[in-house]
Amino acid sequence: MNEELSRLLHEDLEQRQANHLFRQREVVEPIDSTHVLIDGKQYVNFSSNDYLGLTHHSKVLDAIARSAQSSAGSGAAGLITGYTSLHRDAEDAIARWKGTEAAILLPSGYQANLGAVQTLASVAQARGREVRFLIDRLVHASLIDAVRATGAEFRVFPHNGMTKLQRVLAQGRATQASPLQVVITESIFSMDGDAADVAAIAELKGQYDFVLLLDEAHGSGVYGNDGAGYANELGFDSLADISIVTLSKAMGLAGGAICGSKLFIDGVLNHGRAYIYSTGIAPAICAAIPAAIEVMREERERQARVRSLARRVRDALSISSTPNDSPIIPVVLGEVARAIEASVRMRELGMLVIAVRPPTVPRGSSRLRVTLSCDHLDDEVSKLIDALKRA
């Protein structure tokens, strides 16, 4: 490898190691939705986003197996030959489930966010209109990366800081350019498990003209009618102009979807480079999407159970937020070393709880990010609570 590059990598990675910020993987073999093997040792997995246990649900697995017999990959991007009837049916199923006119599938949630933001910026630019993104400080990296890459103006407002958001919206409205303003937030935040102030955003929507992009990565499946999401649960179905769903969390699969009006989805097909220039999601995954949605509809007890387990853990640890039943539970420990140490201790007790460090979370808020699944046993959750109390 190039010598200069080697030197840079050595220097940077050594520094990361010294600061306990070096990232590395290990092989984790799933046994079922809540148990894994690492180096031959079994752990209860409290770090997956498989909230409803669908990664191992027989109906989802059967749908994949049936479809995988006829085709492994899509072979081309959706605008070339990579859009099959399975893609169309999966998109229709997602749109019906979310209550939107249309949906479009991308290979990951990351790309779904990228494609949606690219579309917003590119359409505005094509029509000679300025665009201005207003983003909550704690939104996911994919949204930050997407917004930065557009080169458009953006403002960051404090987490759920509605007063500041209102001020920024008013400033934008008052400028001569009168840009298209786009508010970006998450329904359930990925690292804190708390929710956007959806009611306050709805109120602002009544006062200001803006587009709302709501990332429902962690709200989908866990909240709403048949898992339609957190906005649906609160009765704000049509509040978001654009909703993002990731299939990689409660749906137990992989991929992401942009949901919205038929017009916006046509916009994505013409401006969303993350869609246009990427091979279509695998047909077998498409086949599994309607199956996963059907399970959410038929087995509502999954949603109820994961939320009741979350309430139990939150109550026991006095970790409260709104809502108080999201299965993402942050056990904030502060310094990086403390979080890592706690994670190691949990492992010694047979539980896999990953430490989350900066830059994924703000400095000084390193934590154990505990996630629950409806498939966790009551006993396992009791042990988790005991161990976390000691941590």
Ligand X SMILES: Cc1ncc(COP(=O)(O)O)c(C=O)c1O
Active site residue 218: yes
- Nearest-angstrom CA–CA distance, 213 and 381: 35
From the list 53, 256, 283, 330, which residue makes contact with ligand X (rule: CB under 6 A)?
A: 256
- Under rule CB under 6 A, how many of the chain's residues touch ligand X? 14
Beta carbon nearer to ligand X, 145 or 301 = 145
Q: How many CB atoms lie within 10 A of CB 30?
A: 14
Q: How far is the CB of 49 from ligand X (least distance, A)?
A: 7
Known catalytic residue at 215:
yes
Instruction: Pick out residues in 126-145 that bind ligand X (CB under 6 A).
Output: 140, 142
- Residue 325 as a binder of ligand X (CB under 6 A): the answer is no
Residue 186 known to be catalytic: yes
Which of 136, 192, 197, 215 is labelled catalytic? 215
* Active-site residue, from 140, 205, 271, 376: 140
108 counts as binding ligand X under rule CB under 6 A: yes
Helical H segments across the chain, by residue range: 3-18, 58-68, 85-98, 109-126, 141-150, 162-174, 198-207, 230-233, 262-271, 273-276, 283-298, 301-317, 336-348, 378-390
Is 91 among the catalytic positions? no
What is the x/- site pattern for ligand X, positions 183-212, by CB under 6 A? ---x---x----------------------
DSSP string of 70-99, one letter each residue: T-S---SBTTTT---HHHHHHHHHHHHHHT
Which of 217, 234, 313, 351 contacts ligand X by CB under 6 A?
217
294 is catalytic: no
Q: Does 94 bind ligand X (CB under 6 A)?
A: no
- Token code pair at residue 51: 């909230």
CB of 107 to ligand X, least distance (A): 8
Q: Is 190 a catalytic residue?
A: yes
Provide the 8-state DSSP code for 143.
Answer: H
Among candidate residues 74, 190, 232, 373, the one labeled active-site is 190
Q: Cis bond leading into 359, ω under 30°?
A: yes
49 catalytically annotated? yes
Residue 243 near ligand X by CB under 6 A: no
Phi, psi of 328 (to 5 degrees): -95, 115
- DSSP for 330-391 reads EEEEESHHHHHHHHHHHHHTTEE--EE-TTTS-TT-EEEEEE--TTS-HHHHHHHHHHHHH-
Residues known to be catalytic:
49, 140, 186, 190, 215, 218, 249
* Interface positions with ligand X (CB under 6 A): 108-110, 113, 140, 142, 186, 190, 215, 217-218, 246, 248, 256
